[in-house]
């Protein structure tokens, strides 16, 4: 659902960010919208309007949180607060002053990063909410300062050292530490942590769960992106990267054995045995008992072939002797096929 950053009318209901974490599936779900609509969406209703609803790999919010070390958000917030002085008979000047900020917020909203989307909507909501308050400009600055603080103090580069948790703990104040917890229901199987102001307690909650579940942050060996995983044994972040690594490994292997004649001879003999093994397992005349007997001989061949290949590489065996032995082993595979499955064509 689109959000109108030119709107001059307040809309009833708080805009919240709701976060659920699924350890089993290793995913996070974030819903941004009016509190009642967000709750209904989490409960399974499809006919409700929310600004954002996505399920992503666990850790995505921690790794992609908006950063603002140069204070771009704060400058826009101060400009909105300053525009409060431009009221009747200069009402048009007020909105003219706020328009560039609306464009900035629209660009952040359109970027699709949920922390930036939430901050953009909350900024405009607070701008409209504080206008008629006494000392509205001061109240707006205070609320936006709380909203933007995570963009200044949080740094995803510290995640693998877990420094971020201590930084957030020091940054949290009493007024910023409160969140709502929506307990699981029938169609909402996970607890949901919800905020309408600061993202700091959401991030702190997230990091606490990462530590409680003993998850770790890793850097993918293929794409070099950080990701969250169950242990340090996982070195690839996705199926896409796993496929890339498999292709790369095959190319490296092919390049390595291109001029390695004993390796190529061994590979040819291996697949000679393998294809016959497959016929016994999956062919028209497949027989599990005969296939099991062939498997034993296949394993003996592989073990001895690897040993002899090593002798050739160490120059303890002549390449021609290894080649001749492999030819004999292919004949042995044919003999076994006839013995185990005489009806095979």
> Sorting pLDDT into bands at 50, 70 and 90, what band is 197?
confident
Whether residue 343 has pLDDT greater than 60: no
268-321 confidence digits (pLDDT tens): 999 999 988 888 887 666 778 888 888 999 999 999 999 999 998 888 999 899
- Give the residue among 318, 309, 303 at the shortest CA–CA distance from 265: 309
Res 300: pLDDT: 93
Please check the confidence at residue 108 and state whether its pLDDT lies above 60: yes
pLDDT at 172: 62
What's the CA gap between 270 and 259, in Å, rounded? 18
**Angle (nearest 5°) at CA 256 between 255 and 261:** 105
> How large is the average pLDDT for residues 199-214?
89
Residue 345: per-residue pLDDT: 42
Q: Give strand pairing partners of 57.
A: 27
pTM for this structure?
Answer: 0.71
Place of tokens 């089993």: 24
Q: Is the pLDDT of residue 173 over 90?
A: no
69 preceded by a cis bond (ω within 30 of 0): no
| 242-270 burial code (b ≥16 CB/10 A, e <16) | eebeeeeeeeeeeeeeeeeebbebbeebb
For residue 163, pLDDT over 60 is answered with no
Residue 162 predicted with pLDDT over 60: no
Tokens (6 digits) for 250: 């095959």
Q: What pLDDT is recorded for position 86?
A: 67
The pLDDT of residue 135: 83
Averaged pLDDT of the chain = 86
Tell me the pLDDT band of 344, cut-offs 50, 70 and 90.
very low
Structure tokens at 197: 């102001």
Q: Specify the higher pLDDT residue, 172 or 69.
A: 69
């Amino acid at each position: 659902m689109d959000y109108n950053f030119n709107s001059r009318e307040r809309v009833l209901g708080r805009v919240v960010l709701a976060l659920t974490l699924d350890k089993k599936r290793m995913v996070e779900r974030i819903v941004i919208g009016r509190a009642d609509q967000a709750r209904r969406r989490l409960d399974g209703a499809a006919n409700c309007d929310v600004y954002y609803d996505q399920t992503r790999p666990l850790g995505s919010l921690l790794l992609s949180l908006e950063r603002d070390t140069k204070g771009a958000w704060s400058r826009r917030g101060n400009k909105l607060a300053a525009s409060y002085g431009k009221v009747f008979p200069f009402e048009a000047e007020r909105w003219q002053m706020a328009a560039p900020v609306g464009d900035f917020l629209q660009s952040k909203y359109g970027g699709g990063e949920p922390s930036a989307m939430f901050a953009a909507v909350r900024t405009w909501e607070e701008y409209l909410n504080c206008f008629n308050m006494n000392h509205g400009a001061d109240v707006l600055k205070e609320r936006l300062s709380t909203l933007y603080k995570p963009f200044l103090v949080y740094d995803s580069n510290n995640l693998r050292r877990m420094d971020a948790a201590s930084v957030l703990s020091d940054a949290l104040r009493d007024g910023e530490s409160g969140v709502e917890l929506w307990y699981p229901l029938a169609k909402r199987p996970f607890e949901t942590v919800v905020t309408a102001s600061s993202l700091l307690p959401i991030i702190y909650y997230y990091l606490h769960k990462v530590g409680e579940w003993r998850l770790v942050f890793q850097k993918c060996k293929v794409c070099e992106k950080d990701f969250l995983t169950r242990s340090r044994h996982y070195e690839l972040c996705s199926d896409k990267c796993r496929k890339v690594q498999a292709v790369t490994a095959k190319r490296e292997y092919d390049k390595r054995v291109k001029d390695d004649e004993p390796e190529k001879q061994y590979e040819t003999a291996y697949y000679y045995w393998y294809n016959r093994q497959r016929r016994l397992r999956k062919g028209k005349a497949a027989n599990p008992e005969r296939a099991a007997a062939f498997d034993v001989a296949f394993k003996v061949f592989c073990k001895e072939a690897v040993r002899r290949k090593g002798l050739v590489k160490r120059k303890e065996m002549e390449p021609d002797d290894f080649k001749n032995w492999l030819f004999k082993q292919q004949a042995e595979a044919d003999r076994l096929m006839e013995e185990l499955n005489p009806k095979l064509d």
